[in-house]
Amino acid sequence: MKVRVLGCSGGIGARARTTSFLVDHDILLDAGTGVEDLSVDELAAIDHVFLTHSHLDHIAALPLLVDSVGGLRERPLVVHALPETIEALKAHVFNWVIWPDFTEIPHYERPWMVFEPLAIGSVVELGGRWVRSLAASHTVPALAFHAYNERAALVFSGDTGPNDEFWRQVNGVPNLKYLIVESAFPNRDRDLAVTARHLFPIQLAESLSQLRSEPEILITHMKPSDRETITRELEAWAGRFSPRVLERGDVLEL
C-alpha cells in the first residue's frame, strides 16, 4: 500500500496544496486542492473518498472531481463521512446553488456520487486495505483515520486540537509506521489555535508525550505564511520526537 501526498498545507500558494492523500490509485483521504494536480485518468480511478470534516481546505476539489470524471466512470464515487459532514455538503455545496447535486445526476437511480455515513470506530475494508475512523476534536464534527493493511498502519489526525481519546486510540494501533499529525499555527498564535481547535508546537509536544509507540511522526497543515517559524518551534519543543515536516509529493509505503 502506497500513500502519495497530494497536499499537506494549511493554505495555498506556490507549491502549497491543501490536505489530500492518495492511497494506491483508488482511495482519497480528504479532497483538498492537491487533488487538482492529478491527471484525468488518475481522477477517474478514484473510487472512494474519506473526509475528515466539512471545511473547505479538505473538500475543495470534491465537487470538481465528480464533475470532471463522473461521466467516465462505471459506478458512483463513494464519499465516506460523518452524517454531519454529509449534511453540510448537501446543504452548502451540492445544493444546486453552489454546485449541482451529483447524487441525482445524471439520474437519481444512476448517480455519479453516493454518500456512505461513518461513525467513530467504523471500519471499511477495500481489497485487503482497511480504513478505520478515529476520534478528533475540531470546530465542526470531525474524524481522524487509521489506514492499514496486514503489514503496517498509518494514522492521520485530520484537524484536531488536544484530544485524549485520539491518543488512546493511537496507542492501540498495532504496527503503526506513520503518524501524520497537524501543527497549524506558531506558538505566538496559541489563542487562535485554541479557538480554532488546531495544534501549535508546544501543545503538539505535550500531546506527543502520550504516545506509547515509535512511529515516524510527520507534520501537516502548517500555515504557509508561518511555515519556517513553525518548523523552528517544532524542533525546539518537539525535537525529541524527531518530527519531519511532510512535503507534497512524498510517498509513504506500508
Backbone φ and ψ of 49, nearest 5°: -125, 125
> Which CATH number covers residue 113?
3.60.15.10
Which H or E run includes 235?
A: helix 227-238
Question: Average pLDDT in the 200-226 region?
Answer: 97
Q: Is the pLDDT of residue 143 over 90?
A: yes
Partners of 252 in the β-ladder:
3
Please name the residue that has the C-alpha cell 446543504. Answer: 91
Q: Using one digit for the tens of pLDDT, what is the confidence trace for 66-92?
A: 999 999 999 999 999 999 999 999 999
The share of the chain scoring above pLDDT 90, in percent, equals: 98
Count structural domains, the chain.
1
What number of other Cβ atoms are within 10 A of residue 160's Cβ? 25
Q: Is the pLDDT of residue 125 over 90?
A: yes
Distances (CA, A) of 135 to 7, 53, 79: 22, 12, 19
Here the cell at position 83 is: 452524517
Predicted TM-score (pTM) of this structure: 0.97
Q: Is the pLDDT of residue 108 over 90?
A: no
- Amino acid letter, 200: F
- Reported as a pLDDT band with limits 50, 70 and 90, residue 49 is very high
Give alpha helix (H) positions in 2-158: 40-44, 56-59, 62-69, 83-92
Task: Give the pLDDT of residue 48.
Answer: 98
> What residues make up the domain containing 212?
2-253
Task: Give the pLDDT of residue 234.
Answer: 97
The mean pLDDT value of the chain amounts to 97
